[in-house]
């Protein structure tokens, strides 16, 4: 057919031949034209037979369901979009769930650049992530031992990254279209109220362990009552305590002991009670039931749980000099290197060697009080003459410098320059609870005290059985 068409064209395009088509050629051309006319005449009929029945796609929306519409005779169908050439966001969570997770445990010396290189993720992707904002700063300080989780597609393109940098917080990065989105996910810690009660037979630590306390919890208990009770001197067999406290749970599992809400301590015939209270400004203190602060201006002891090797005695015979020499302080025997705490807020006015005292620090507390700490092995690096210290701050470590037979702390307490027995001196107290909080405090204290009494009574009943 193509040959015939070419032949005709070539002949008609040659004016010089003078050739005229023959009868057979005219008949052939006429037949072809008639066939073409017949074919065109059938097209409208076929279209009209289906114009109200068939449905075909007329538009594609990236973020919406596929749309359909009825097609009429005059409707021109659009060209189908090239989906493979578009960068589409993941449609939903199901798409992400189809991708496997790759976990990477962070090693010492690792960086995100090294980890991305091992996973064959492009460095441009890491550069993009670091520019997302303050949330992704965590990636510059990854911690050995933590685990990074990656989701990569078939082309090794990062789709999701999760970095749990604490037990409650995670950085999550998700690919959305051609961009990435970063967010911090936080798990809520569930607070549960618990209680415990125990009798002291040997030491506070052993009693705390019997009650299920962590060492931190036992120390917190000692700190609450440390202004009234010297836990190195005043503990007696048969003393007992009751505590109402919080426990922190995450995903149904206990992760740690929380705060002590209320506590009662029976020591050597005396009863001490403490209630935790937070005011409207977020200040937290422990108070007695009548609103007096448990915190005094001075701690009763500068060393935790040490043995008193020598008491305040103005007629004591010195163990080295072998003559009567007043012992105007208290000696706390403890292992060398045991931390020494400032018993009150103040300013260091002396630091250095001082005769038989050896390495010594003297702290001035206001205009009337001063304390002395002697026979140290070494000082805290932050302890400098003229520097301010806070109550409970470590200022040095127990040693045996100067005239000392063994490692211990010699501690003196002075009022207006005169020595006072640190074990019996009446210590000034901190400010009581402000009057505007008294009513709110009383309501909360009454409830906690009722709980303390209930737990205590049940414990006493069990002990008596």
Q: Given pLDDT bands bounded at 50, 70 and 90, which one contains residue 367?
A: confident
Q: Given pLDDT bands bounded at 50, 70 and 90, which one contains residue 363?
A: very high
SS (H, E, C) the chain: CHHHHHHHHHHHCCCCCCCCCCHHHHHHHHHHHHHHHHHHHHHHHHHHHHCCCCEEEEECCCCCCCEEEECCCCCCCCCCCCHHHCCCCCCCHHHHHCCCEEEEECCCCCCHHHHHHHCCCCHHHHHHHHCCCHHHHHHHHCCCCCEEEEEECCCCCEEEEEEECCCCEEEEEEEECCEEEEEEEECCCEEEEEEEEEECCCCHHHHHHHCCCCHHHHHHHHHHHCCCCCCCCCCCCCCEEEEEEEEEEECCEEEEEEEEEEEEEEECCEEEEEEEEECCCCCEEEECCCCCECCECCCCCCCCCCEEEECCECCCECCCCCCECCECCEEEECCCCCEEECCCCEEEEEEEECHHHCEEEEEEECCCEEEEEEEEEEECCCCCCCCEECCCCEEEEEECCCCCCCCEEEEEEEECCEEECCCCCCCCECCCCCHHHHHHHHHHHHHHHHHHHHHHHHHHHHHHC
pLDDT tens for each residue of 61-113 = 233 332 333 322 332 333 333 322 223 333 345 555 667 899 999 999 999 99
Q: Given pLDDT bands bounded at 50, 70 and 90, which one contains residue 204?
A: confident
Higher pLDDT, 446 or 229: 446
pLDDT above 90 (res 458) = no
Work out the average pLDDT over 239-254: 92
Strands 359-365 and 369-379: antiparallel
pLDDT > 70 fraction of the chain, expressed in percent and rounded? 72
Work out the average pLDDT over 269-298: 91
Q: Model-level pTM greater than 0.85?
A: no
Higher pLDDT, 384 or 307: 384
pLDDT tens for each residue of 402-442 = 988 889 999 999 988 888 888 888 887 778 899 999 999 99
Work out the average pLDDT over 16-25: 48
pLDDT above 90 (res 364) = yes
What confidence score (pLDDT) does residue 83 get?
A: 27
Domains of the chain: 93-186 (3.10.450.350), 191-287 (3.10.450.350), 307-420 (2.70.70.10)
What confidence score (pLDDT) does residue 311 get?
A: 52
Q: Given pLDDT bands bounded at 50, 70 and 90, which one contains residue 170?
A: very high
What confidence score (pLDDT) does residue 36 get?
A: 52
Higher pLDDT, 73 or 203: 203
């Amino acid at each position: 057919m193509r040959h015939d068409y070419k032949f005709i064209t070539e002949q008609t395009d040659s004016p010089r031949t003078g050739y005229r088509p023959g009868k057979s050629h005219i008949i052939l051309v006429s037949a072809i034209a008639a066939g073409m006319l017949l074919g065109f005449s059938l097209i409208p009929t076929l279209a009209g037979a289906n114009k109200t029945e068939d449905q075909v796609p007329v538009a594609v929306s990236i973020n919406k369901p596929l749309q359909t519409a009825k097609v009429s005779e005059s409707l021109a169908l659009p060209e189908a979009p090239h989906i493979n050439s578009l960068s589409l966001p993941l449609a939903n969570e199901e798409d992400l769930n189809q991708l496997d997770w790759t976990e990477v445990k962070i090693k010492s010396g690792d960086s995100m650049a090294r980890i991305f290189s091992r996973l064959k993720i492009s460095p441009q992707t890491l550069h993009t992530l670091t520019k997302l904002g303050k949330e992704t700063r965590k990636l510059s300080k990854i911690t050995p031992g933590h685990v990074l989780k990656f989701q990569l597609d078939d082309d090794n393109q990062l789709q999701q990254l999760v970095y749990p940098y604490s037990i409650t917080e995670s950085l999550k990065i998700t690919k959305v279209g051609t961009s990435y989105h970063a967010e911090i996910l936080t798990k809520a810690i569930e607070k549960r109220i618990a209680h415990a009660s125990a009798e002291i037979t040997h030491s506070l630590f052993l009693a705390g362990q019997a009650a299920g306390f962590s060492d931190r919890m036992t120390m917190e208990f000692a700190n609450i009552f440390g202004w009234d009770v010297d836990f190195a001197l005043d503990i007696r067999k048969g003393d007992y305590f009751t505590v109402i406290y919080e426990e922190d749970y995450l995903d149904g599992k206990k992760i740690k002991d929380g705060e002590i809400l209320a506590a009662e301590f029976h020591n050597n015939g005396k009863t001490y009670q403490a209630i935790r209270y937070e005011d409207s400004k977020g200040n937290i203190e422990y108070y007695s039931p009548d609103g007096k602060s448990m915190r005094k201006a001075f701690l009763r002891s500068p060393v935790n749980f040490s043995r008193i090797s020598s008491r305040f005695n103005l007629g004591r015979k010195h163990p080295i000099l072998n003559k009567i020499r007043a012992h105007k302080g208290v000696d706390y025997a403890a292992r060398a290197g045991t931390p020494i705490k400032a018993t009150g807020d103040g300013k260091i006015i002396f630091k250095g060697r001082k005769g038989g005292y050896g390495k010594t620090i003297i702290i001035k507390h206001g205009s009337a009080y001063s304390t002395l700490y002697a026979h140290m092995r070494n000082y805290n690096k932050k302890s400098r003459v003229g520097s301010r210290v806070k109550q409970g701050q470590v200022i040095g470590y127990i040693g045996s410098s100067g005239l000392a037979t063994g490692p211990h702390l010699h501690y003196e307490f002075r009022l207006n320059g005169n020595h006072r027995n640190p074990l019996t001196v009446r210590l000034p107290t901190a400010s009581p609870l402000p009057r505007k909080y008294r009513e709110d405090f009383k309501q909360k204290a009454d409830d906690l005290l009722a709980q303390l009494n209930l737990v205590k009574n049940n414990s006493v009943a069990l002990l008596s059985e």
